[in-house]
Each structure stands twice: as structure tokens, then as C-alpha cells.
């Protein structure tokens, strides 16, 4: 065969690799995302006194104030927010995934009730921080727990998160108290369902990433938990 025919054969042969290269997640973006959330965590810890009081430390006096305070608490308390997002992400792919955050919300109502009854849950802040770390680690490990275990863990954590919510409403009248419970129940479930829908979308859209977006979120959530745990232990 002549050199010309050999070169023609080479040029006509497609150069597709045997194993297609996966789309890579930029490592710089992973580092920046994690560090940014850790910085936010430190800032949130520094503002801890305000983070759990949407009314600036003042007791809600009516339905509107109670409802706004209830909506705000799970958002401005970054440890609570990170945990709720983690619940939604861990429910991704489960047929009854929406029931897991529902179990957490119901348990958090029970936890608030324990606080209102002046029953003590020792080590509350430490356990909340540990719950954030554990759920973040589950995301990092990409360990899919079965439905029963996941809803049981969420419910236990919900008792402690709800107990912390109760601190902002102890001593309030019945109307703002009811509004507060309604507000934090709605916002928690909405955040968790949004995280669940977002997680389903991410897992379907980014199938070729070397680092799963949910795993990256797990690193950030665990880091936030470590920040709050450290603060609880040294304060």
C-alpha cells in the first residue's frame, strides 16, 4: 500500500477515544464554594445571638410577628438551614422522599413543645451541630440509607432542632405562638422540598461530573457543622 493511501486511511479514521473523558468539575470552584460557606458559618456563629431572634430579641406580640419570626428562624440560623437542605438532598432518588422532611418538621414541632413544657434536652446545641456533620458526611460518602433509617434519624434530629426553635417563643401568647409554629413548619418543608427537587435535577443533568454536586454540598454542610460544634464546645 502506498504512503498516500495510508495517510488517507488515517485521516478518514475517527479519532474518538475508547473511553470518553468525563466532564470535570473545576477543583478551584470546589475549594472556593467550601471556603465561602465556612466563612458564612463563622459569621453566623459570631451573630448567634441575633440569628435565633428575627424580631431582634423581642418576643413576638401578634400573629404577623409570630409568623415572620417562624419563617426567619430556620433561615437565619445557618445550622438549621444547612441541616434542612441536607435532608432534602439525602431524600433524592427515594420514592417517598417527601415524607422524610415531613417527619423532621413534625418532630421539630414536638421538640418546641418540650421546650414550652420546660423539659430539658441536654447538649442541645452540640447535638444539632453533630446532626449537621453526620448528614453532610452521608452526602459526601454518597451513602443511600433506606427510608426507615433516614426518617428515624431526621425525626431524632428534629426534636433537638425544634427544641432550639422554642427558645425564641417561650412565654409568648397563644396567637403569636401558633403563628410561629405555622411559620417555621411551612418554611422548613418548603426548603427541604426545594432541595429535593434541586437535587433530582442536578443528578439528572450532571451525570458525567467526577465530583457530584450533592457530594460537594455535603463537604460544605459538614464544614458548617464543624464550625458550630467548635463554637458550642468552647463557649
Q: Which single residue is written with the C-alpha cell 453532610?
A: 136
Among 211, 200, 168, which Cα is nearest to 94's?
200
The string of pLDDT tens digits covering residues 123-137 is 999 999 999 999 999
Q: Which of the 8 DSSP states describes residue 58?
A: P
Whether 3 has a pLDDT exceeding 60, the answer reads: no
d(Cα 190, Cα 101) in Å, to the nearest integer? 9
User: For the CA atoms of 150, 151, 156, 162, what is the dihedral angle to 10 degrees?
Assistant: 120
Domain membership of residue 46 as a residue range: 26-234
DSSP state of 22: P
C-alpha cell at 234: 468552647
The total number of structural domains that make up the chain: 1
The pLDDT tens digits for 136-179 are: 999 999 877 889 999 999 999 999 999 999 988 988 999 999 99
The whole model's pTM is what? 0.79
For residue 93, pLDDT beyond 50:
yes
Q: Does some domain include residue 17?
A: no
The set of cell numbers assigned to 177 is 405562638
Nine-digit cell at 176?
403569636
C-alpha span between 222 and 225 (Å, rounded): 5
Range of lowest pLDDT (45-59, 89-103, 147-161, 214-228): 45-59
Centroid of chain to Cα 185? 15
**Mean local confidence (pLDDT), 196-201:** 93
Share of the chain above pLDDT 90, in %: 54
Tell me the three cell numbers of residue 226: 464543624
**12 located within any domain:** no
* CA distance to 18, 73, 139, 169, per residue, from 177 (Å): 64, 14, 34, 6
- Does the structure show a pLDDT above 50 at 22? no
- Report if residue 219 sits inside a domain: yes
Amino acid at each position: 500500500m502506498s504512503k498516500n493511501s495510508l495517510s488517507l486511511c488515517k485521516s478518514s479514521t475517527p479519532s474518538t477515544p475508547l473511553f470518553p473523558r468525563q466532564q470535570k468539575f473545576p477543583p478551584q470552584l470546589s475549594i472556593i464554594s467550601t471556603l465561602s460557606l465556612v466563612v458564612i458559618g463563622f459569621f453566623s456563629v459570631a451573630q448567634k445571638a441575633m440569628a435565633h431572634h428575627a424580631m431582634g430579641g423581642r418576643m413576638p406580640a401578634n400573629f404577623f410577628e409570630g409568623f415572620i419570626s417562624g419563617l426567619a428562624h430556620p433561615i437565619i440560623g445557618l445550622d438549621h438551614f444547612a441541616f434542612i437542605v441536607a435532608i432534602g438532598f439525602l431524600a433524592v432518588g427515594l420514592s417517598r422522599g417527601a415524607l422524610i422532611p415531613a417527619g423532621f418538621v413534625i418532630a421539630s414541632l414536638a421538640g418546641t413543645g418540650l421546650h414550652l413544657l420546660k423539659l430539658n434536652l441536654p447538649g442541645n446545641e452540640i447535638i444539632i451541630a453533630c446532626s449537621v456533620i453526620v448528614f453532610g458526611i452521608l452526602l459526601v460518602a454518597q451513602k443511600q440509607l433506606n427510608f426507615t433509617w433516614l426518617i428515624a434519624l431526621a425525626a431524632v434530629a428534629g426534636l433537638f432542632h425544634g427544641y432550639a426553635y422554642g427558645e425564641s417563643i417561650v412565654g409568648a401568647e397563644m396567637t403569636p405562638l401558633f403563628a410561629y409554629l405555622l411559620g417555621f413548619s411551612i418554611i422548613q418543608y418548603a426548603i427541604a422540598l426545594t432541595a429535593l427537587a434541586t437535587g433530582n435535577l442536578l443528578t439528572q443533568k450532571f451525570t458525567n461530573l467526577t465530583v457530584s454536586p450533592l457530594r460537594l454540598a455535603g463537604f460544605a454542610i459538614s464544614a458548617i457543622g464543624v464550625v458550630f460544634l467548635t463554637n458550642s464546645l468552647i463557649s
